[in-house]
Amino acid sequence: MSARKRIGVLTGGGDAPGLNAVLRAVVRTAGDSAENVEIIGVLDGFAGLLEGRFRHLGAPDVRELIRMGGTVLGTTNRDNPFACRSEHGPVDRSTDCLENARKAGLEALIVIGGDGTLRIASELGKLGLDVVGVPKTIDNDLASTDYTFGFWTAIGVATEALDRLRDTAESHHRVMVLEVMGRTAGWIALHAGVAGAADVILIPEIPYDPESVARTVVRCQGRGRASSLIVVAEGATSKGGEMSVHAVDPTTGVVRLGGAGQRVVRELEALTRCDVRATVLGHLQRGGSPVAFDRILATQFGEAAARLAIAGRCGRMVRLADGRIEDVDLDEAVREIKLVDPASPLVRTARSLGIAFGDE
Ligand code: F6P
């Protein structure tokens, strides 16, 4: 039998439904390989790689995983080996990652993450670590893939929330504002807003005029309905305004958004006599069992990533392009993020169905 090949797998950044489905596919593909491959899970994201904490992943460890939210690799987090927390400010400990991967005998490392995590992976790749990227985020804001896994599960949660809010809005003749995630991109708000038949969708890519939003909600009341639904992306801004920032991490510089929903409430209270309430959907969008699309995409990504790693084809990221699973250069893949094009067909469809974007 050939010498055993050890492939590592790490989950980084915020969790997304489908992480465990990727792990399952990686382990099963390794088991199916003609080569003698062992999969080693890195515990707790880059923190585990920095501290050399690993766990063997075999077939029994991934049984039933396809339907489970979260990650079985401990935690997933935003730790950055190039800027580790210390008393004296950020410290670059990236070489510890390389050293620990070498000590563990990893021939390649599959990194499952969003743009931040995959940028770190790409930088580690330049230092000599053989990496394969798997795009994950509920935000769907990675430019090189049609979809990231986790996105459609988040849309389902946000759509259900809008359905529920519609009932209570009608019962009280209220304006309901739903704040959804997505960072600087409006993908979740746009898709959930169309699926949940919102009256107004506010996204970062189309800065809004509060007076225009106020006119829409007042108009909705005149149409025999006394309620309206607004879905607002956490990164949405009014024209000339700024994103609502909750906090900035002093070490990593990671910005935590929050407050856009309440801001819209204040604007509408000042401009109308409507009774307005905000709901922040928050991390409900990230937990729970992945929908079928995300399970399938995560499984296809996991298989493709494992095959690349086993074949030694590193520095690549798997992606979905026009229905096909392909791979692209990791460095190029993470150069840009993907934003909603205000002239895109879905925005046009939404407008023609009477959904307002606050710029009319
Ligand atoms: O990137 C995924 C995401 O859920 C964003 O939509 C959101 O802005 C951010 O993570 C929230 O991060 P945290 O889990 O650190 O609060």
Task: Please give the pLDDT value at position 42.
Answer: 98
Residue type, position 111, single letter: V
Vertex 319 angle, CA 35 and 321, to 5°: 125
Residue 138 CA, closest ligand 1 atom number: 2
| 186 Cα: distance to centroid of ligand 1 (angstroms) | 13
| 124 Cα: distance to centroid of ligand 1 (angstroms) | 23
Residue 285 CA, closest ligand 1 atom number: 4
Q: Would you call 195 exposed, middle or buried from its count of C-beta atoms within 10 A (0-12, 13-18, 19+)?
A: middle
Residue 183 CA, closest ligand 1 atom number: 8
Nearest 5°: phi and psi at 273?
Answer: -105, 20
Contact, 231 vs 350, CB < 8 A? no
| 170 Cα: distance to centroid of ligand 1 (angstroms) | 31
Task: Please give the pLDDT value at position 105.
Answer: 97
> Which residues in the chain show pLDDT less than 70?
1, 223-224
User: How far apart are alpha carbons 10 and 45 in whole angstroms?
Assistant: 6
Task: Please give the pLDDT value at position 291.
Answer: 98
Task: Please give the pLDDT value at position 292.
Answer: 98
Across the strands, what pairs with 324? 321
| Residue 298, both tokens | 């995560």
Note if 139 is an active site residue.
yes
Contact, 298 vs 22, CB < 8 A? yes
Task: Please give the pLDDT value at position 56.
Answer: 97
Q: Which residues contact 4 (CB under 8 A, 6 or more apart)?
A: 36, 37, 38
Q: H or E stretch including 232?
A: strand 228-233
User: How far apart are alpha carbons 189 and 134 in whole angstroms?
Assistant: 24
| 75 Cα: distance to centroid of ligand 1 (angstroms) | 14
Model pTM? 0.96
Task: Please give the pLDDT value at position 1.
Answer: 60
Task: Please give the pLDDT value at position 69.
Answer: 97
Residue identified by tokens 């400990």 is 93
- End-to-end Cα separation, the chain, in angstroms: 68
Across the strands, what pairs with 135? 113
User: How far apart are alpha carbons 6 and 254 in whole angstroms?
Assistant: 33
Q: Catalytic residue among 15, 44, 79, 139, which? A: 139
Contact, 186 vs 205, CB < 8 A? yes
User: Which region, left, alpha or beta, applies to residue 121 given φ > 0 means left and ψ of -120 to 50 means alpha?
Assistant: alpha
Of 76, 148, 181, 254, best ligand 1 pocket probe by most atoms within 8 Å of the beta carbon: 181
| 121 Cα: distance to centroid of ligand 1 (angstroms) | 19
| Residue 309, both tokens | 């790693």
Which residues contact ligand 1 via a Cβ below 6 A? 14, 114, 137-139, 181-183, 234, 256-257, 286
Task: Please give the pLDDT value at position 72.
Answer: 96
Q: What is the pLDDT of residues 195-216, one digit of tens each?
A: 999 999 999 999 999 999 999 9
Instruction: Give, using CA atoms, the residue closest to atom 11 of ligand 1.
Output: 256
Q: Which residues contact 192 (CB under 8 A, 6 or more apart)?
A: 154, 155, 158, 159, 161, 162, 178, 180, 198, 231
